[in-house]
Amino acid sequence: MTAPGPGLTVTGLHVHYGGVHAVRDMNLTVPPGAAIGVIGANGAGKTSTLKAVMGLIPRRATALRLGDVDLLRVPARDMVRHGVGYVPEGRHVFPGLPVERNLLLGAYLRPWKSDTLASLDQVYTLFPVLREMRHRLAGALSGGQQQMLAIGRALMSRPRLLLLDEPSMGLSPKLVDDILTVLQRLRAEGLALLLVEQNAKLTFEATSHCIVVENGAPAMTGPSATLRHDPRVRQIYLGL
């Protein structure tokens, strides 16, 4: 168990794509070591929220802070240096490189060999299948294995906060369960998580609190255990 890192504060976040106001006055906090979920329908603004936090798209916010660090002044390429890891939607592993090379690319800011080897060992302990396949090309892995690789690569930089965009996308129920187990282990180790998902069941089980997003704005927030039984969430937002 590592000491929890600094918390994330997002206040008054807006994203525009030309005339599309995709994120409207989003507010959320991820306290140190907490796991927070963002759920909502297709196109609700979940991915845009994560990309905006990472500085990958133009955004405006009243506050965007990681502890004392003003993330509005941190370029996307330096987020990792501040302890923020990001697992993008669609995995984006390098298919023509071996699994281990993909993982090592995640440690490019940590060139000390013993340190890197310790991180590799931790990732392989979390995902034994990646150890078995470490010499295979990433493109030869199944969708679930590529998702594990994408998460493993983000962990190589030893983040204190991990942003995950739809890790369950396209995976079978069994593999979604495997992802849940991994997220629960990471959480138990003190890593803070911000999980964006369409899979409400996974999100409610992996997080303590959730934000339901509708048309780019937070429509409901509360403890995951409460929201999962809320008839409004189930009927209106999730179609359950």
17 near ligand ATP, judged by CB under 6 A: yes
223 near ligand ATP, judged by CB under 6 A: no
Cα(215)–Cα(42) distance, integer angstroms: 10
Position among 45, 152, 167, 218 found at the interface with ligand ATP (CB under 6 A): 45
CA distances (Å), origin 2, targets 23, 39, 103, 106, 192: 33, 28, 21, 19, 11
Q: Which two tokens stand for residue 150?
A: 């994408």
x/- map, 190-219, ligand ATP, by CB under 6 A: --------x---------------------
Edge-to-edge strand list for the sheet holding 20-30: 20-30, 8-17, 63-66, 69-70
Q: 17 vs 108, which CB is nearer to ligand ATP? A: 17
Produce one character per residue of 21-60: b if its CB has 16 or more CB atoms within 10 Å, e if not: ebbbebbbebeebbbbbbbbbeebbbbbbbbbbbbbbebe
48 near ligand ATP, judged by CB under 6 A: yes
Position among 12, 43, 128, 170 found at the interface with ligand ATP (CB under 6 A): 43
Count the residues of the shown chain that bind ligand ATP, applying the rule CB under 6 A. 12
- Alpha helices for the chain (secondary structure H): 46-54, 99-105, 113-126, 128-132, 143-155, 173-188, 200-206, 224-227, 231-232
x/- map, 22-41, ligand ATP, by CB under 6 A: x-----------------x-
Give min distance, CB of 32 to ligand ATP, in A.
Answer: 26
In contact, 130 and 103? CB cutoff 8 Å: yes
20 near ligand ATP, judged by CB under 6 A: yes
Give min distance, CB of 140 to ligand ATP, in A.
Answer: 26
Cα(200)–Cα(29) distance, integer angstroms: 19
Give min distance, CB of 20 to ligand ATP, in A.
Answer: 5
The stretch near ligand ATP (CB under 6 A) out of 46-54, 77-85, 143-151, 187-195 is 46-54
42 near ligand ATP, judged by CB under 6 A: yes
Q: Where along the sequence are the contacts to ligand ATP (CB under 6 A)?
A: 17, 20, 22, 40, 42-48, 198
